[in-house]
Amino acid sequence: GAVVSQHPSRVICKSGTSVKIECRSLDFQATTMFWYRQFPKQSLMLMATSNEGSKATYEQGVEKDKFLINHASLTLSTLTVTSAHPEDSSFYICSARDWVLGYTFGSGTRLTVV
Amino acid sequence: AQSVTQLGSHVSVSEGALVLLRCNYSSSVPPYLFWYVQYPNQGLQLLLKYTSAATLVKGINGFEAEFKKSETSFHLTKPSAHMSDAAEYFCAVSESAGNNRKLIWGLGTSLAVNP
């Protein structure tokens, strides 16, 4: 079946630094990738939708200059949290979609900003 | 606009008992419907999906769901709960057409299975 690899699974960083999270579709080409944020015991909050080779579409209230998304190829999307602060600590999940398989999720990244 | 309502944020069943997790949706276009399961600190795994074919959908791990248009429901069931079924379950809906077709999520239902 379709597999999406997300790295790192956990990261701890200092306030003010930037963190990059990678999301790769391993055995299919993802036409669209989605980035979510999930707070403890809550549902997923869509942050942005990205299509390969074009700018990401951000959801209302999500700072595009803080959460940089790059979708340079059909198999790779990255989310960079810039100038991270403790309030950015969260669980981030990517999802890749192709026209046949539907939506496949990465295993998530637990970001802790100290 | 589409929306998803999951009735019951917490459901507790005994091992071997029927599991019923409720999901109702609203959509102005024919929907695609999904159930996902999430274990602690992990991503989401697809249990099953409805994409306008058979209304009774069978998924992994013995789960199934029935699409009822008249009731705008897509409830998830499993005849006999297992301890390993304890997890968070999310229902989601997407449009059946359009380029981006993002998922709209329910708030989730936490399933506890008691021995």
CA of A74 vs chain B CAs: smallest distance (Å): 15
The 10s digit of each residue's pLDDT in A51-79 is 888 889 999 999 999 999 998 888 999 99
Residues 6+ apart with CB under 8 A from A46: A34, A35, A36, A59, B102, B103
In B, what residues contact A, Cβ < 8 A? Answer: 34, 36, 41-46, 49, 51, 90, 99-103, 105-108, 110
- Reported as a single tens digit per residue, the pLDDT across B55-104 is 999 999 999 999 999 999 999 999 999 999 999 999 999 876 665 678 88
Using alpha carbons, select from B25, B5, B24 the residue that is nearest to residue B95. Answer: B25
Judge whether A15 and A107 are in contact, CB under 8 Å.
no
Residue in chain B lying closest to A51 (CA) = B100
Interatomic CA distance for residues A72 and A69, integer angstroms: 10
At B96 the pLDDT is 65
Instruction: Indicate if the pLDDT at residue A22 is higher than 80.
Output: yes
> C-alpha distances in angstroms, B37 versus A57, A86, B61, B76?
26, 28, 11, 11
What are phi and psi for residue A87, nearest 5 degrees?
-70, -10
Binary contact (A102, B41; C-beta < 8 A): no
Q: Does B107 contact A42 at a Cβ distance shorter than 8 Å? A: yes
N- to C-terminal Cα separation, chain A:
37
pLDDT in tens, B29-46: 778 899 999 998 888 999
Res B6: pLDDT? 96
How far is the CA of A69 from the CAs of A19, A63, A77, B82, B112, in angstroms?
12, 11, 7, 40, 36
Q: Which residues of B touch A6 (CB under 8 A)?
A: 43
- Confidence at residue B98, expressed as pLDDT on a 0 to 100 scale: 60
B15: pLDDT confidence band, cut at 50, 70 and 90? very high
Residue B102 has its nearest CB partner, among A6, A49, A107, at A49
